Amino acid sequence: MADRFDVIEAGGRRRRRWIGVAVVAALLVVPAVSLLLSRDPGPPPPVPASTSRPVATPPAADDTPNAVHPRAVRKGRDEVIEVVFPDGRRAEVRYPAELALAGLGVRPFQGVWVDGQYRPLTAPYSVAAEVGRGGRPLRTLTPNVTLWPPPPSGVSRGDVLLFTFGPWRVALPDQPVALTFEQRLAAAEGLRGTVTEDGYLVLSARGAVRLARPGETLAGLSVGPQLWFGGGAGPLLVFTQAPHCRAGQAAPSAVLSRTQPSGAVCRDGVQIAVSSSEEFRGKALDGIRITLK
C-alpha cells in the first residue's frame, strides 16, 4: 500500500513531490463533491467542432443516467447481482432485497496518475448537468476526448477532460494545478476503455498514464478501483477493492464529503462504505456480501 504522501511518478520523467495535505484534500474531496451534488440536467451542449472522426457529446437534456443497472436475481430474501470493477475484476454481490442496489445504478471510479500527477476519474451521474451545462467544449483533444471549462457551480475550479468510451462518459477534473497541453494530450491518448457485454467500463493505461492499484491510497484515502451505487439526494454506497482492509480504515472521499452520516466495514477484501439514512446504512453494512472472482 502506498505511503500516504507518496505521489508515484510515471512516464520516466521525475517531477517534484509537491502535493501536501491541503492539495491532496482538494484533489480527492472537491471533485467528488462536484460530481455528486449537481443533478439539474440543464439544456444539452451543442455538438463540438468537426474533427477527422465524429466526437461523442454528453447526453441530451433527458438526463439519462450515466450508470449501468445490473440484472438482479432473487434468492429468498436476498438479491444477487454481478458487477465488474474498472480494472476488470468481477464480483458477486448479495444483499437484502429491500436495499434494491440494482435500481440505484452503478458507476466506476478510478484514481489516475498523469505524468506523476494524481487525478480522480469519475463517471458523473448526469453529464449534461455536471460537465456540459449547455456550454461548449474548449477543444477536442482526440476523437473521444474533449476539454470543458469549469462547471458554473463553482465547486470545481479546474477544466475537465471528458472521455467517451461507448455509452460511458468519464470525467477527469484538472486541478488544483493544471496539466500542460502535452500532459493533457498524453492523458487523452494514454487512457483506454472497453465496455463488457453486461455494460461495465473496464479501463487500461499506457505511456504517461498509470491507474491506481487495488488497495492503493493517497493521504490515507482509497484511490484504487471502486464502484459507486446511487448518489445525488439518495444513498451512496462505494465498494472498494482493499486487499489489506482493516477496521477503522477511512472511507473514500465520495462518501466522507456527503452531509448524510456514513459508515464502513471490511469484508473479504472489499471495503463497503455507505452514506445514507441510519436504517439503510445499518442494513447495508450488516447484510451485503461480496465475493471477488
Range 135-162 average pLDDT:
85
Q: Taking all residues of the chain, what is their mean pLDDT, rounded to a whole number? A: 81
pLDDT score of 15: 42
Whether the pLDDT of residue 24 is over 80: the answer is no
> In terms of pLDDT, which residue wins out, 153 or 57?
153
Whether the pLDDT of residue 276 is over 50: the answer is yes
Range of lowest pLDDT (59-73, 109-123, 161-175, 257-271) = 59-73
> In terms of pLDDT, which residue wins out, 191 or 29?
191
Whether the pLDDT of residue 10 is over 60: the answer is no
Residues of the chain above pLDDT 90, percent: 63
pLDDT score of 131: 84
Range of lowest pLDDT (114-128, 152-166, 237-251) = 152-166
Whether the pLDDT of residue 21 is over 60: the answer is no
DSSP the chain: ---TT-----TT--------HHHHHHHHHHHHHHHHH-----SPPPPPPP-SS-------TT---SSB-PPPEEETTEEEEEEE-TTS-EEEEEEEGGG-HHHH-EEEEEEEEETTEEEEEE--S-HIIIIITT---SEEEETTEEEEPPPTTSS--SEEEEEEETTEEEEEEE-SSPPPHHHHHHHHHHEEEEE-TTS-EEEEE-TTEEEPPTT-EETTEE-SSEEEEE-TTS-EEEEEE-TT--TTPPPPHHHHTSSS-EEEEEETTEEEEEES-HHHHHHHHHH-EEEE-
pLDDT score of 65: 65
Whether the pLDDT of residue 277 is over 80: the answer is yes
Q: Do 246 and 266 touch, CB atoms closer than 8 A?
A: yes
Confidence of residue 263 (pLDDT cuts 50, 70, 90): very high
Whether the pLDDT of residue 9 is over 90: the answer is no
What is the per-residue pLDDT across 33-76, written as a single tens digit (0 to 9) for each?
A: 444 443 333 333 443 333 333 333 443 333 556 899 999 999 99
pLDDT score of 246: 87
Residues of the chain above pLDDT 70, percent: 75
pLDDT score of 152: 66
Distance CA 209, CA 194 (A): 16
Whether the pLDDT of residue 114 is over 80: the answer is yes
> In terms of pLDDT, which residue wins out, 189 or 24?
189
Range of lowest pLDDT (136-140, 205-209, 230-234) = 230-234
Whether the pLDDT of residue 193 is over 70: the answer is yes
Whether the pLDDT of residue 11 is over 70: the answer is no
pLDDT score of 32: 53
